[in-house]
């Protein structure tokens, strides 16, 4: 008899109020809220890593452009040195095509305005591609706390029903529903906070990329508008800036005496 008492005392009590037990108290609604929040969280992290990979790729393309592009003699030669799928090459190719299409226009349009509009449209396409997925992160950050709050409300409602049935607010009667309510709140916040942080971080990186694309587009436009006279300073692989080779100007023939 003494041995049985000692064995029962040594056995740790079973936890009847764990995560699974609390979710079972909530039933279909609790599991549905958990499934929705899980999908939102997984999709948020997928967008974060995929957009981060895409941004890093464009940043590396920018480094390659600064070290090779402006060392070429013409825009076509510089574009040939860039990767075929490079965002910077897309801008150059669109600028070259716009320059060729300007001669086909029947209405008088300033070449500068035509080139500027074509290059800006090319930038907008790149920025639009970079921005895909970010609205979903904003949606997750804004709505997931309310989805968790819905589960919280249901948990509190169940706790109140159990209190009414039992006639007293005993711990064993309300621990399950209250635990479910707190879990739903924590899950909603746990999904929202990473989504908001990822959205703001990716937005900041997109802004820096957009600034770099705008600067490059302005350089391309200046180069084309000046027939190669305006050319930015090139950068070597080690980050050393070198002045571009001067553009040769035709020498006027000497006047006859």
Three-state SS at 251: coil
Q: The pTM is what? A: 0.76
List of E strands, the chain = 234-235, 241-242
Distance separating the N- and C-terminal Cα atoms of the chain: 134
Q: Identify the pLDDT of residue 132.
A: 92
- Residue that has been written with the tokens 């409602």 in this structure: 157
Structural contact between residues 19 and 34, judged by C-beta atoms closer than 8 angstroms: no
The 10s digit of each residue's pLDDT in 152-208 is 887 777 777 776 776 665 666 566 666 677 788 888 999 999 999 999 999 999 999
Exposed / middle / buried, residue 67 (Cβ in 10 Å: 0-12, 13-18, 19+): middle
Q: Identify the pLDDT of residue 139.
A: 95
- Residue that has been written with the tokens 């716009």 in this structure: 98
pLDDT at 76 over 70: yes
Q: Render 140-208 in DSSP notation, one character per residue.
A: HHHHHHHHHHHHHHHHHHHHHHHHHHHSS--HHHHHHHHHHHHHHHHHHHHHHHHHHHHHHHHHHHHHH
Phi-psi region of 105 (alpha: psi -120 to 50; beta: other; left: phi over 0): beta
Query: How far apart (Å, rounded) are the C-alpha atoms in residues 187 and 22?
Result: 13
Give the Cβ contact number of residue 99 at 10 Å: 15
pLDDT greater at residue 104 or residue 48? 48
Q: Identify the pLDDT of residue 213.
A: 92
Q: Identify the pLDDT of residue 8.
A: 44
- Cα-Cα-Cα-Cα torsion 137, 138, 142, 148, nearest 10 degrees, comes to 0
Cα torsion 216, 97, 242, 249: sign:
negative
Residue 248 pLDDT class (50, 70, 90 cuts): very low
Q: Identify the pLDDT of residue 39.
A: 95
Q: Which residues contact 125 (CB under 8 A, 6 or more apart)?
A: 90
Q: Identify the pLDDT of residue 72.
A: 83
- Arithmetic mean of pLDDT over the chain: 79
Determine the distance from the C-alpha atom of residue 82 to the mean position of all C-alpha atoms in its chain, rounded to a whole number: 24
Cα angle vertex 127, ends 67, 231, to 5°? 35
Q: Identify the pLDDT of residue 145.
A: 92
Count how many residues are written for the chain.
Answer: 257
């Amino acid at each position: 008899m003494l041995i049985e008492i000692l064995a029962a005392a040594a056995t740790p009590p079973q936890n009847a109020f764990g995560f699974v037990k609390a979710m079972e108290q909530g039933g279909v609604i609790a599991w549905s809220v958990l499934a929705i929040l899980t999908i939102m969280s997984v999709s948020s992290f997928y967008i974060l890593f995929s957009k981060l990979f895409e941004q890093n790729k464009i940043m590396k393309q920018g480094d390659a452009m600064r070290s090779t592009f402006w060392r070429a003699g013409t825009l076509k030669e510089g574009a040939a040195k860039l990767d075929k799928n490079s965002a910077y090459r897309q801008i150059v190719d669109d600028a070259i095509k716009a320059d060729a299409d300007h001669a086909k226009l029947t209405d008088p349009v300033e070449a500068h305005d035509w080139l500027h509009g074509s290059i800006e449209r090319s930038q907008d396409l790149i920025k639009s591609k970079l921005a895909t997925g970010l609205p979903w992160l904003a949606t997750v950050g804004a709505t997931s706390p309310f989805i968790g709050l819905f589960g919280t409300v249901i948990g509190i409602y169940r706790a109140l029903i159990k209190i009414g049935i039992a006639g007293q607010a005993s711990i064993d009667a309300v621990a399950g529903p209250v635990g479910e309510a707190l879990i739903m709140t924590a899950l909603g916040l746990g999904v929202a906070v990473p989504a908001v942080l990822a959205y703001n971080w990716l937005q900041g990186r997109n802004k820096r990329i957009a600034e770099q694309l705008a600067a490059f587009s302005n350089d391309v436009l200046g180069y084309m508008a000046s027939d190669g006279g305006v050319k930015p300073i090139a950068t070597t692989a080690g980050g050393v800036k070198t002045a571009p080779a001067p553009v040769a100007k035709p020498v006027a023939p000497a006047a006859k005496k």
